[in-house]
Chains A and B, each alone.
Chain A
């Protein structure tokens, strides 16, 4: 009996050992979805589009870096850099190593936006008919905007040599699913990348509604097109696109210049777009980052205070110009104390991507440069709009130089214009000619190593 019992229990034990354990090995993640299940419905496409804005808002990209890094290369006489991030110091010294981490992040973030947009565009068939144009338009707006900025940061400027020959960046228009031979994309030419941006932005302009809350609308696309055409010297188109935005009547300048940089009661709160914003990246206390605040604002306003403005920069302003008020000494009574730009003091302030004032300046400049009758209004009238708001009077006629000076006063430290304007105008930057190899950003070394079809820019 006892032996039988033992045998019985022994068999049971054996069964326990060899069978009890085969529990499920197919464990699924909680916070993520398998890519095969991620995009099936219209809502899935919409949230992927939201993800594209999220990626666009990263600090190295439209959170601010995409404008700030080029400016650092071109502000030798306007700022005194006090930052200790070597990767940024390298930009101020116009000596960027090919493994600069900030540049790598900008590049990767940009292609994340593009991939998100590609996922949306590839799945438009899932979107309800009434929504389809809007969704397509927003995705193509973000993709076009991103390609335009990539082309002018990583490629030679349009007016340097032959843009049809100069390498731009790889063009990817399909969503990433697996790695295959076609994943190793070579660089398209500068003009091909511009063309991709123009096609995307033109489609976006056609498909987007005129009003789309804080998301991209048809005028956002027109505005970026205007900036793009100005950059490539296509003044007729620049004037046309700028005019569309201005004449739409959907936007108006804020009463005061300072109102475009809201910081209510000096407290960090999200403020919706102003009437002047044509497109802005939204920042809230819970999501997004204002990367310009990080470097311009003092630590009391949530920044690092790395950018000190050189006092002589104030010489750009005529007396009585309200816009000079955005530049204040830490100790107002002591002109030897630190001079800061206060445009970005709200740590959760939106990042302006393009605003109406720039379009007046684009239209004025384009009208001055293009042949034929001015589109929309005369340059003098456009400049007058800008200057009146700043509390200044305007002569009856304005020169190209007047417009360019006005751009500096109006747009300083926004949009990367110190760099991009100097390049399109063929001006010396620091001590370097506008077409110096050192003024084209390096393709990140990590990607050069990962993709044998990717060729580095000269000088790196």
Chain B
């Protein structure tokens, strides 16, 4: 597609060739890779640049040559230039594609721009670089491929939420995900999950249909999207057919996944040892506190003996069973994927038809993801000056989900169960705890998630249609009008059911069903004019102006039922009691006006400016409109006379941009004072006050400065980009704490400021060229986030330690500082951290959690991330791998209060490190004395914080492409076999499952870096083939 786009662009630039006379040479230009003809290739006589032609649709050219012609130059954007000497009258040429040059034209908001003239910070990634990565969504595949973009999945469940932040998090209460634009249309990114853990709306996109990703990072690039652009923009362009013979592509891959890491828990003997020690510890405390007069009496009160017998399935030999429950949560996870596409066309019409079937199994039991998608992209020149086209993507996804991380029935909470409990209860030959084997609800210790695996389901079906039609009209020379109508329709049903055997979990004896339907209709109309011209040879001008209208309407309804006749009936049609039902709607609209001007003088002095005015239904009647201007300048030094002839330096461009963008990702009605009619009582309807009005609510604004330069040496064999940026966000859309005595806790206000500041460096090098090729791409980013003003508030979003505090990174860990264990008595102690007279902190210790003061304990977001990709090829063999690194953050194990307590908070099984507990006076350790339910050191503190830095081999691909001559015999154009690997190894000090974690039920702008029985990332290996016909 890019080739066509480029040739289109070339045509627009209206080269006028002067034909000369003398001998004629002709030939065919083809793609070296697959032999397909290349139309629109410039053929120029060396030394006489005014003499030349272009190849036609079949790649054929013919040119009259001046007498002294020795060499012809073949130039085609996206391909390496070929200089060939002339002899005879026929010269056939094969051009070799140049992946770096593919980015010569970038897709930007409402148009395209020559890379050379770009003055904003834009990263372009070719779809080829990431296609066939064995993951569910494109963001996962992009991890580590570009600077300034931090991508993190909540956990290893399939189709779940993925957090993308471009140049840091720029908002406290409003959205922080970048805007995603597909083929010019802003798409719906609303998470429609109803189980407390986000799903990923981008998982509906088959990323093998994607031609390129452009990431707009600075204000100059993104401000054309105005109020939606503060978090950056990702522009996705899907594949297009190209004129020429029809092509068929087929990919298939098969493989399997497994957990990338296991966590160690106590075995039966170890568990019994620590539990019994904790009974003694608690009894000692009972006596000390006077709750019991003798140790014997206290021991009798605290005894767990009958509990042990219960948990050991009635055995008085408590360690008869030794179950490794952690292993029970996982399953072997096969996956397969098939892609088939057809493309081609003639000089008027091109087409691309793509389809995919993807079937992935989760590493966690009961989790799977399937996607069936089709795409039709058609572009047609119906008149010489009038193009129309349509891009249409229809997708069905089917996600077999598990509960959020905070539910007893989620598979990984199984680790809390006691190792002395057997998986199968020998008394019933059923999974332990399956009724009727659990009359008192205390065997096993908690509800066994394995019961849900076989007796409950939660299926999410999404049908999505995403498409647009456009018309492009060259009205007069240089003057184009484009109209786009885009529709993104999402229909989701969530169907869940739990049968009678799950009663301990659902609290419902005869089955519980819930069905929920959510649909979003989201449409966009874009209309804009483009004017492109070159004046007096040196002045190149490009103007764009237009409007956009966007409307989104969400409708949802749900129904729940109980009392099913038997476990064979699963639909709510059979529920004797309809226990709950609901419906709701909401909508929003945007009306926008935008304009942009790009000016270049002599191809080396660049100037660009854009303005967008947005109005949205989301904002207060008093402040509905916002205007977002941005400007940038660039200077291509390498085009200056003093550098033009440099042999080593091939490119040097300085860039600077400054501009304003906004953020409007808040609820649909945040400015209104509201009553909600959901406050019924005993069957009578009621209303309650639910939101404080703020008619002055307006846009959150980010002013961003970007200074950067691009450079290339040795004909860009070694090249790179460096950027410095500073994003100042003000008028934060903040849920401000108000006095709760008003009967409400927060109000959305424009209050506060924060900034993100950082550096990005990316380098690319062709280390070896020739037969053996070796290319290295490297990127590294540093970002510093500081909340500078929230009017002194300490904002809490419900996690143990994450807070928003002035002077700190958003979501900073803030709480009591754990000081270890008092060797004399086994008490957990904390640093007092009270202020001394001189302002220093008192580092004395206390065993009174309340006496210790909260202090900043660490950052939840890495400040340095980077990736390195090496690509090798030799003859038909290709090898590529990406290593991703993330540094500087801490992870809080929010489940530490259950799994790492020295058996001090419940009978949950403990992590292996708890065996180092304090046992007798004088013991030096970090693990306090076990005291059952005495919460000795189990309150939230730095005890459960650890380093989250890691380095990971994200992707590895090894392929072999069969030689063409061999394939010609079987009429195959291209055949490649490959092995893909994902998350092959990990280096980290983190002792939990996986440092790439943020537990799904807490995840928010503020709640970052929490682990809570979260599923680790999968380690996946697949084998596959690509066939081209």
A interface list, Cβ under 8 A from B:
6, 9-10, 13-14, 16-18, 20-36, 38-39, 44, 47-55, 57, 76-77, 80-84, 86, 89-90, 92-93, 95-99, 101, 104, 107-108, 111-112, 114-116, 119, 170, 172, 175-179, 183-185, 214, 267-268, 282, 284-288, 298-302, 305, 310-312, 330-331, 334, 336-338, 347, 430-431, 444-447, 449-451, 454, 459-460
Whether a CB of chain A sits under 8 angstroms from the CB of B424 is: no
Give the contact stretch, choosing among B167-175, B300-308, B633-641.
B300-308
Q: How far is the CA of A443 from the CA of B482 in the complex (A)?
A: 61
Q: Are A112 and B743 in contact, with the CB atoms below 8 A?
A: yes
In the complex, how many angstroms separate the beta carbon of B239 from the nearest chain A beta carbon?
29
Question: Known contacts A17-B527, A50-B685, A179-B692; is A286 also within 8 Å of B580 by CB?
Answer: yes
Give Cα distance in the complex from A185 to B438, angstroms: 52
CB within 8 A of A300: which of B438, B525, B793?
A: B438
Q: Which residues of A contact B57 (CB under 8 A)?
A: none
- Contact partners of A33 in chain B: CB under 8 A: 674-677, 687
Q: A27-B588, A35-B675, A305-B441 known; A287 and B739 CB under 8 Å?
A: no
Report the minimal beta-carbon distance from A179 to chain B, rounded to whole angstroms. Answer: 6
Q: How far is the CA of A369 from the CA of B396 in the complex (A)?
A: 75
Whether the Cβ atoms of A21 and B549 lie closer than 8 Å is yes
Q: Pick the most buried of B306, B439, B617, B850: most chain A CB atoms within 10 A of its CB.
A: B850
Q: Would you mind naming 14 contact pairs between A and B with Cβ atoms under 8 Å apart?
A: A17-B481, A17-B528, A33-B677, A48-B688, A50-B679, A50-B680, A92-B933, A114-B743, A286-B683, A287-B682, A287-B683, A330-B440, A431-B290, A450-B737
Q: Are A34 and B673 in contact (CB under 8 A)?
A: yes
Taking the closest CB of chain B, its distance from the CB of A216, in whole angstroms, is 12
Q: Are A299 and B739 in contact (CB under 8 A)?
A: no
Distance of A336 Cα from B745 Cα, bound (Å): 46
Measured CB to CB, the closest approach of chain B to A5, in angstroms, equals 11
When chains A and B are docked, how far (Å) is the Cα of A90 from the Cα of B936? 11
- CB-based contact A31/B744 at 8 Å: no
Point out which of A83, A115, A311 has the most chain B C-beta atoms below 10 A from its C-beta. Answer: A115
A176 cross-chain contacts in B, Cβ below 8 A: 689, 692, 742-744
| A310 neighbours in B (Cβ, 8 Å) | 301
Contact of B579 among A38, A89, A285 (CB under 8 A): A285
Please determine whether B739 and A23 come into contact, CB atoms closer than 8 angstroms. no
Q: Which one of A28, A77, A111, A298 contacts B742 once the chains associate, using CB atoms below 8 Å?
A: A111
Pairs of residues from A and B, 9 with the lowest C-beta to C-beta distance, nearest first: A115-B743, A50-B686, A299-B441, A300-B441, A35-B673, A51-B679, A21-B549, A282-B682, A54-B679
Q: Are A10's CB and B475's CB within 8 A?
A: yes
Q: Does B34 contact A (CB under 8 A)?
A: no
Query: Contact: A20 with B690, CB < 8 Å?
Result: no
Q: Beyond A17-B528, A54-B681, A449-B793, is A331–B616 a contact (Cβ under 8 Å)?
A: no
Contact (A31, B440) CB under 8 Å given A24-B589, A334-B306? no
Q: Are A119 and B441 in contact (CB under 8 A)?
A: no
Given A86-B938, A300-B504, A449-B794, are A17 and B529 also a contact pair (CB < 8 Å)? yes
Q: Please give me the residue from chain B that is nearest to A10 by CB atom.
A: B475
- B648-690: contact bitstring with A at CB < 8 Å (1 yes, 0 no)? 0000000000000000000011001111111111111111111
User: Inside 8 A of A101's CB, which chain B residues have their CB?
Assistant: 798
Interface residue B355 (Cβ < 8 Å from any Cβ of A): no
Decide yes or no whether B693 CB sits under 8 A from chain A: yes
Is the CB–CB distance between B796 and A446 below 8 Å? yes
**Which of chain B's residues have a CB closer than 8 A to the CB of A24?**
589, 617
CA distance A285 to B510 in the complex (A): 14
- The answer for the CA separation of A94 and B1022 in the assembled complex, in Å, is 56
**Is the C-beta of B849 less than 8 angstroms from some C-beta in chain A?**
yes
Output the nearest chain B residue to A50 by Cβ-Cβ distance. Answer: B686
Given contacts A21-B591, A50-B679, A178-B693, contact A183 B739 (CB under 8 A): yes
Contact indicator B682/A214 (Cβ below 8 Å):
yes
- Contact check, A450 vs B793: say whether CB atoms are below 8 A apart: yes
B683 — which chain A residues lie within 8 A by C-beta? 284, 286-287
Does B245 sit at the interface, judged by CB under 8 A? no
Whether the pair A86, B897 counts as a contact (CB closer than 8 A) is yes
The interface residues of chain B lying within 8 Å CB-to-CB of A446 are 737, 740, 745, 796
Q: Mark B499-527, 1 if CB is under 8 A from A, else 0.
A: 00001100101000000000000000101
Contact of B547 among A21, A92, A311 (CB under 8 A): A21
Is B940 at the interface (CB under 8 A from chain A)? yes
Q: Is B603 interfacial (CB-CB < 8 Å)?
A: no
| Docked-complex contact A34 and B674, CB < 8 angstroms | yes
Q: Knowing A50-B684, A298-B442 touch, does A178 contact B692 (C-beta < 8 A)?
A: yes
| B593: A residues at CB distance < 8 A | 18
Query: Once the chains are docked, how many angstroms separate the CA of A96 from the CA of B685?
Result: 37
B688 close to A36 (CB less than 8 A): no
Q: Find out whether the CB atom of A47 lies under 8 angstroms from the CB atom of B546.
A: no
Option from A27, A30, A34, A80 in Cβ contact (under 8 Å) with B584: A30
Main secondary structure of the interface of B (DSSP, over half): mixed
B587 touches A (CB below 8 Å)? yes
Contact A111 B743 (CB under 8 A): yes
A178 to B687 CA separation, bound complex (whole angstroms): 19
Which residue on B lies nearest to A95, using beta carbons? B850
Given contacts A47-B686, A178-B692, A299 and B743 within 8 Å (CB-CB): no
Question: Closest Cβ of chain B: how far from A105's Cβ, in Å?
Answer: 10
Decide if A84 touches B577 in the complex (CB within 8 Å): no
CA distance A98 to B851 in the complex (A): 11
5 additional contacts, CB 8 Å, given A83-B906, A214-B682? A31-B586, A34-B672, A92-B933, A287-B682, A299-B504
In the complex, which residues of chain B have a beta carbon less than 8 angstroms from the beta carbon of A38?
Answer: 675, 687, 689
* Interchain CA distance A77-B302 in the complex, whole Å: 12
Cα distance A110–B668 when bound, in Å? 28
Please tell me if the beta carbons of B740 and A298 are within 8 angstroms of each other in the complex. no
A92 shortest CB reach to chain B, Å:
8
A54 and B738 contacting across the interface, CB-CB below 8 Å: no
CB contact between B617 and one of A22, A25, A179 (< 8 Å): that residue: A25
Chain B neighbourhood of A177, CB < 8 A: 673, 693
Q: Which residues of B contact A299 (CB under 8 A)?
A: 441-442, 447, 504, 507
* Chain A residues with CB under 8 A of B547: 17-18, 20-21
What chain A residues lie within 8 Å of B906 (beta carbons)?
A: 82-84
Measured CA separation A38–B680 after assembly (Å): 15
Given contacts A6-B476, A55-B688, A282-B681, contact A96 B438 (CB under 8 A): no
Please state if A336 and B305 are interface contacts (CB–CB under 8 Å): yes
A5 to B321, CA, bound (A): 88
- Which chain A positions have C-beta within 8 A of B473? 13
**Would you call B939 and A97 a contact (CB within 8 A)?**
yes
Interface string of B740-766 (1 = CB under 8 A from A): 111111010000000000000000000
> Considering the chains assembled together, what is the distance between the CA atoms of A98 and B689 in angstroms?
27
Among residues of B, the one whose C-beta sits closest to the C-beta of A14 is: B529
B551 at the interface (CB under 8 A from A): yes
State whether B739 touches A32 (Cβ < 8 A): no
B713 CB–A CB distance under 8 Å: no
**Minimal Cβ-Cβ distance residue in B for A306:** B906
A274 to chain B, nearest CB (A): 15
Answer whether A447 and B739 are a contact pair too, CB < 8 Å, given A30-B584, A31-B677: yes
User: A33 vs B693: C-alpha distance in the bound complex, in angstroms?
Assistant: 12
Q: Shortest beta-carbon distance, A257 to chain B, in Å?
A: 23
B window 519-569: CB within 8 A of A: 525, 527-529, 545-549, 551, 562
Minimum CB distance partner of A112 in chain B = B743
Question: How far apart are the CA atoms of A30 and B585 in the complex, in Å?
Answer: 6
**What CA separation (Å) do A93 and B905 show in the bound complex?**
12
Is the pair A57, B681 in contact by a Cβ cutoff of 8 Å? yes
* Cβ B905 vs Cβ A89 within 8 A: yes
B740 near A116 with CB under 8 A, answer no
A-facing mask of B879-891, CB < 8 A → 1, else 0? 0000000000000
B907 to chain A, nearest CB (A): 8
Q: Using Cβ atoms and an 8 Å threshold, which residues of chain B touch A450?
A: 737-740, 793
Contact residues of B between 276 and 307, Cβ < 8 Å to A = 289-291, 301-303, 305-307
Q: Which one, A22, A29, A111, contacts B669 given CB within 8 A?
A: A29
Please determine whether B674 and A35 come into contact, CB atoms closer than 8 angstroms: yes
